[in-house]
Structure formats: C-alpha cells, structure tokens
Amino acid sequence: MADLILIRHGQSLWNLHNLFTGWVDVPLSEQGVNEALAAGERLKDYSFDVIYTSTLIRAIMTAMLIMAKNTSKKVPVLEALPAANAEQQKLADWAKNFSAKSAAETIPVKRAWQLNERYYGELQGMDKDETRAKYGAEQVHIWRRSYDVPPPNGEALLHTAERTIPYFRDIIVPDLAAGKNVLIAAHGNSLRSIVMYLDNLSREEVLSLELKTGEPLRYVFEKNRFEKRMSL
C-alpha cells in the first residue's frame, strides 16, 4: 500500500492580480506561502519517498514549503533536469551528491513539464476582467471551462490531459506500485486531469471539478487500484 497526495500550489502573485498565468513562471504570493505552510502542517507526519512537481516555481515553492514542516527530517533535493547540451550536463554533474549517508536522508524532487499548468496561449498575462470585456464573458467562459476548446494558440483541458495522464501512468504509478509514498505539487488543470483519470470522471463531470489552492487530496494505492481517502 502507498499514499498519493495531490496538492494544487498556493495563490500566486498573478492569481492575486487576476491575470491569466499558464506557463509564465510566477512565484507564490504571501497568501500562497501561508497556504503551503498550512498544508505542510497537515502533512507533517507523512513520510514521503519521492516528490513530483511541475517545472514552474509556484509548484516547486509549494512542495518545498510543505516539506519545511515535515517531521521525517529528510531533505527534499531537486533532481537535475535532463541535459540538452554540454552546459546543462555540467550543471547536472556538479549538482551530484557523493555522500551515501546524506543521499539516504534526502527525498528526490522530480520536475516534469508534463505536470505544468494548462498553456493559456495568447491570454497569458492578460487581466481576466479585461479579457471578458474584449471577447465577451461567454467566450472566455468557454475557453476556461470547456473540455476541448482552447484559448487562442493555447491548450484545452483535453490537450493538458494528453500529456499529464500518460506521464502519471507511466512514470508516477510505478513508484506507487513499488510501495513509495508520493507527493505531487502541481496546478489546477494538470491535477484535474489526473483526478479525472483516478476517479474515472467523464468529460462532463471533470468540468465541474474544483481543486482549492493549498488543499491536500489523498489517495491510497493498493492492489493496483486507487481509493480516495478524505482524512489526512
């Protein structure tokens, strides 16, 4: 049996300013920091074996702040991203830990672009109210809440699910099957995609799914099945 904890990052500075964020790399606001710390207090007695985040700072900050409250005394350490050139390979090589003792006391933090938020295309950086005034509230609602209609040059939830679910199934589930407790800190739409998969939701059902910022969601993986647990 293994635990899976999903958490949407805390409020970001662009959430605070009512802007479409998507893949723009914006940090947490003060409220978002406090939300992450509050989640860490709730999760402080969990022993995690591996942490997955998106590549975006707001998700990484959320995971690290949660672990700042953890009582396991293990230290979360960012794994190097895959190197595309010699310079990036040097960064990866120089970040290696050569101590077996300290390595045993760390928790690997794996960053994956597949867990990034939905790409909002040409809406990124735009004020949500001004966008409604420009395009109409109904059109903006369709872009935000339909399953398969993307914003201009962006992704719909369908496209987000096409990258998020295979990554979860192929990379994260094997860790759970090996008995590892997993924390995933990601985003509203990438996590909605994963929950759609876990709960076998229809395209219509997932549209009404709301995940609160900084609110942990727990599943237990046992005998190749996921069961949602409300208690933390």
Give buried/exposed letters for 164-186 (b at 16+ CB in 10 A, else e).
Answer: bbebbeeebbebbeeebbbbbbb
Q: How far apart are CA 138 and CA 198, in angstroms?
A: 30
185 residue type, one letter = A
Q: How far is Cα of residue 123 from the mean position of the Cα atoms in its chain?
A: 21
Residue 189, CB-side half-sphere exposure with 13 Å CA sphere? 26
Find the helix packing angle between 188-198 and 157-167, rounded to 10°: 60
Residue 213 belongs to what H/E stretch?
none
Catalytic residue flag (residue 117) = yes
Catalytic residue flag (residue 9) = yes
Residue 211, CB-side half-sphere exposure with 13 Å CA sphere? 25
Selected catalytic residue, list 35, 117, 155, 187: 117
Cβ-contact 15, 5 below 8 angstroms = no
Selected catalytic residue, list 9, 35, 155, 187: 9
Give the residue numbers marked as catalytic: 9, 117
